[in-house]
Structure 1
């Protein structure tokens, strides 16, 4: 075969590689793209509890006020390997105290680190990307008020090929372009607020929606429950208003459960949901009622 005949196939391969690199390159949000906004610490704290930041980022075993020391270190065991939760404290070196608002928003919306690496979606930016940028700026401002920790945690321990971080660009192409589930047709402003909280800050679907083989959420089974995403033997329950889910619960039952941890049949919250419920007990009552209104308005799924 002549050299000339080899040139075109080689050129096409190089062009395909260049296109793949371009399409999967980590994206950033620049400071100029952020809205002019004066941070609201009270709203930032409200979103902190709705988002359950302390549930993952507090040191393992932390209780009470110690849960506000976001030193990280928790290991999340999944079918893809073990993910180590990072330090989210205000420490400027070990934590995120040295991050700009643009750094933080980029991480939450694009899943990209300040040094330009893809984050693994064990950090649920696939949900956080639905949050308003103003809310993310408020959340960062509140995080900056929390105590610093100089804890430095280990790396993830992942099996091949999941250990190849560059491949996450292709994952983002598949899943970050998907729109948020439509808000149910309702005149109730609580439903719209609940949709925003469940889909974004609350990231409820990250546990309550089953995943496909690549770890992406199966949007056709939105909130219908499924296997434990951490690979445990248990299942995460269906929270749609079907008989298989919480169809027998009233909106008041759901709101009270989030506040108190008690179900309508006087059982109490358990497992990983216990920490989630503790967080939701700290948000305003109107937000718990909003989540309840939304969960009663979505399509029931078996």
Structure 2
């Protein structure tokens, strides 16, 4: 074998080793059934609170659904992004079109590890980058509550993504770079209310998904946590909701909590845009949880 042949062989071996290392380090890692074998009895009432905190209806109800129809999680809403259009799936209890035949471990794998039922990486249009902070008990309770909701046989469209974003294998690399369960901010001497607010905002509430700027690969710029970002759907911006934000920086914690409950700002304006759905969801929470969210938003670093 000549010098060129040896060099080519070496490159092939290095490439194969590199590919193998990539596939191993970025492989999907779902939960096993044994991880939830002793999950305990669910608290349906708490599951309902997690449902509203998580804003499930905002993405998974059919477009333009109102009232009780929002509880039919048939999916199909088009979510436009710089990477293409995502179509949230049917997550109703339907055994065929929805998640009626899923196990708790499969549901938790999707919610907290971004792994689908067939072992595939899921796109972070499902905000598992936030839901990873949820406790196993809250995941259990949420799953139990969702099984009480109406069934839908609707089959949603596949995501419409251009190359290379339609290559799921690349999601393993994206997770390797960006996906972790670290606190988004470290708050020393936080009160119990602030800790609860941190859990709700960074976890089920997934506020950072829209309010934190991202880099060109779609990863959060965590040094600018909740500092505002371009609207992922195109027009306008999602506001800075830290204490330094021009829109809400001078609001009191009481103002924030009331806004989440009523939809009215301190100057008697009303909620608008995509925040309408979020506020409607937050209105279902307890007053204590809305106050905890407000306390956390006043405690984080200003930007």
1:151 equivalent to 2:154? Answer yes
Quick check: 184-193 or 55-64, which moved more? 184-193
Please list the CA deviations of residues 196-253 of structure 1 after superposition, one character each: whole Å capped at 9, or x if unmatched. 00000000000000111001111011000010122x2110001001152422111110
1:101 to 104, 124, 135: 104
1:81 to 78, 84, 90: 84
Contact preservation (8 Å) 1:183, 1:192 = no
Please list the CA deviations of residues 153-185 of structure 1 after superposition, one character each: whole Å capped at 9, or x if unmatched. 110111111011111110000111361223422
The residue correspondences of 1:26-105 to structure 2 (distance < 5 A) are 26-34=28-36, 36-105=39-108
Please list the CA deviations of residues 74-101 of structure 1 after superposition, one character each: whole Å capped at 9, or x if unmatched. 0001111111111010101100111000
Contact preservation (8 Å) 2:60, 2:74 = yes
Give the aligned partner of residue 302 of structure 2.
300
1:218 equivalent to 2:221? Answer yes
Q: Secondary structure at the match of 2:227?
A: coil
Give the aligned partner of residue 283 of structure 2.
281
* Alignment partners' CA distance in 2, 1:136 and 1:248: 35
* Alignment partners' CA distance in 2, 1:234 and 1:267: 18
Q: Secondary structure at the match of 2:85?
A: strand
Change (3 A) 1:177 1:212: same
Give the aligned partner of residue 260 of structure 1.
262
Quick check: 126-135 or 194-203, which moved more? 126-135
CA displacement at 1:15 relative to structure 2 = 0.9
Quick check: 214-223 or 236-245, which moved more? 236-245
Contact preservation (8 Å) 1:224, 1:245 = no
Please list the CA deviations of residues 34-60 of structure 1 after superposition, one character each: whole Å capped at 9, or x if unmatched. 353221101100000011000110000
Give the aligned partner of residue 144 of structure 2.
141
* Alignment partners' CA distance in 2, 1:278 and 1:128: 20
Contact preservation (8 Å) 1:29, 1:102 = yes
User: Could you state the TM-score of these two structures normalised by the residue count of structure 1?
Assistant: 0.96
Give the aligned partner of residue 187 of structure 2.
184
Moved over 4 A (4+): 2-6
* Alignment partners' CA distance in 1, 2:149 and 2:87: 21
Give the aligned partner of residue 132 of structure 2.
129
Give the aligned partner of residue 25 of structure 2.
23
Quick check: 85-94 or 11-20, which moved more? 11-20
Contact preservation (8 Å) 2:57, 2:73 = yes
* Alignment partners' CA distance in 2, 1:104 and 1:224: 31
* Alignment partners' CA distance in 2, 1:197 and 1:126: 14
User: Could you state the TM-score of these two structures normalised by the residue count of structure 2?
Assistant: 0.96
RMSD (CA atoms): 1.3
CA displacement at 1:186 relative to structure 2 = 3.3
CA displacement at 1:276 relative to structure 2 = 0.5
* Alignment partners' CA distance in 1, 2:269 and 2:208: 23
* Alignment partners' CA distance in 2, 1:197 and 1:8: 51
Q: Secondary structure at the match of 1:268?
A: coil
